[in-house]
């Protein structure tokens, strides 16, 4: 079988200082509608129909080297084993001086990436872009799943290194947690200068749950939430991130099974292209 690559990636091994894509087909703790394990290849397939040139960034992926290492084999692995495999891949990428770019899968994949980054780097910030706060202490009796993942990340990093954007769904205690820890940022017109001040040129990791987008433009996700972002909202963020030191990113929670028009996968592929161009 011909292996699928994201657009025209330059290598299947990590390149120093350049992004390394790897797929994490994990869909173990979905609580509503499963299918996100099919996302990495759906994003790669959709990337075939978009240009390598981005008019938003005036940059072309053909001129910027990046790797696509393929998908991790997470079949028949329990959750902890799967997360260990993701962490090992991330460490492998970091030891070669490259930058991890994970394609989910469910949002839980972010935790092992943060565990790995935390062993190599200190004082980096995490920007969490999502419709949901993902801050539950536990869910369905589990301490580790897609609705608790950012709480687990905050336990590793400390809430002062967490910035949350786009959140419009969560429990009252989760919103109280965000308010008392000052992690939730507004993202209206003119919010850029507040965010830039907060970033103060520190290293940044981006975790992007695609359900931050409005269901009108990205219906193909397991837990869509009304009142979301449109592409220009994300583009404003990418614009200011162009000047920042991004150490890695993940794009999670696309569900191709629910994407009957294929438009959600194309938007996901476009978002990954833009990310590759600013890393």
Which positions touch Mn ion (CB under 5 A)?
107, 130-132, 134, 209, 211
As given in the structure block, the two tokens for residue 67 are 């790797």
Looking at the Cβ atoms of 18 and 107, the one nearer to Mn ion is: 107
Nearest approach, Cβ of residue 224 and Mn ion (Å): 9
Return the axis-axis angle of helices 263-278 and 231-241, rounded to nearest 10°: 10
Which residue lies nearer to Mn ion by CB, 47 or 221?
221
Give 212's DSSP letter: G
What is the residue-wise DSSP string for 56-80? TTTEEGGGS--EEEEE---TT--HH
In the complex, minimum distance from the CB of residue 108 to Mn ion, in angstroms, rounded to a whole number: 9
Distance (Å, whole) CA 32 – CA 45: 25
Q: Between residues 18 and 115, which has the closer beta carbon with respect to Mn ion?
A: 115
Q: Are β-strands 67-71 and 19-24 bridged in parallel, bridged antiparallel, or unpaired?
A: parallel
Place of tokens 């965000």: 178
Nearer to Mn ion by C-beta: 215 or 262?
Answer: 215
Task: Give the closest residue to 125 by CA, choosing from 182, 194, 181, 199.
Answer: 199
Q: Which is nearer to Mn ion, 7 or 165 (CB)?
A: 165
**Euclidean distance between CA atoms 70 and 77, whole angstroms:** 18
Shortest CB 130 distance to Mn ion, Å: 4
Cβ nearer to Mn ion, comparing 9 with 148: 148
Helical segments of the chain, H only: 39-47, 79-95, 110-120, 149-157, 172-181, 192-199, 231-241, 263-278
Quote the least distance from Cβ 177 to Mn ion, whole Å: 15
> Residue 100 CB, nearest distance to Mn ion (Å)?
18
CB of 134 to Mn ion, least distance (A): 4
**Do the Cβ atoms of 218 and 264 come closer than 8 Å?**
yes
């Amino acid at each position: 079988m011909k292996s699928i690559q994201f657009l025209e990636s330059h290598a299947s091994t990590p390149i120093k200082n350049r992004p390394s894509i790897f797929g994490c087909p994990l869909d173990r703790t979905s609580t509503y509608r499963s299918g996100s394990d099919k996302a990495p290849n759906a994003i790669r397939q959709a990337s075939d129909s978009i240009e390598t040139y981005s008019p938003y960034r005036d940059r072309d992926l053909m001129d910027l080297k990046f790797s696509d290492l393929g998908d991790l084999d997470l079949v028949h692995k329990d959750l902890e084993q799967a997360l260990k495999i993701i962490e090992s891949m991330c460490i492998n990428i970091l030891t070669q001086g490259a930058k991890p770019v994970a394609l989910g899968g469910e949002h839980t994949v972010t935790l092992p990436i943060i565990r790995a980054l935390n062993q190599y780097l200190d004082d980096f910030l995490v920007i969490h872009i999502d419709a949901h706060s993902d801050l539950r202490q536990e869910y369905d009796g589990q301490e580790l799943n897609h609705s608790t993942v950012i709480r687990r990340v905050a336990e590793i990093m400390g809430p002062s290194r967490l910035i949350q954007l786009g959140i419009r769904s969560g429990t009252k205690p989760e919103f109280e947690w965000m308010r008392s820890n000052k992690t939730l940022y507004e993202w209206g017109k003119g919010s850029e200068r507040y965010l830039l001040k907060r970033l103060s040129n520190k290293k940044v990791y981006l975790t992007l749950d695609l359900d931050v987008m409005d269901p009108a433009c990205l219906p193909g996700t397991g837990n869509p939430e009304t009142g979301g972002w449109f592409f220009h909202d994300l583009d404003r963020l990418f614009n200011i991130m162009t000047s920042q030191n991004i150490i890695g990113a993940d794009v999670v929670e696309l569900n191709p099974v629910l994407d009957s028009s294929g438009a959600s996968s194309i938007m996901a592929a476009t978002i990954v292209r833009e990310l590759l161009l600013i890393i």
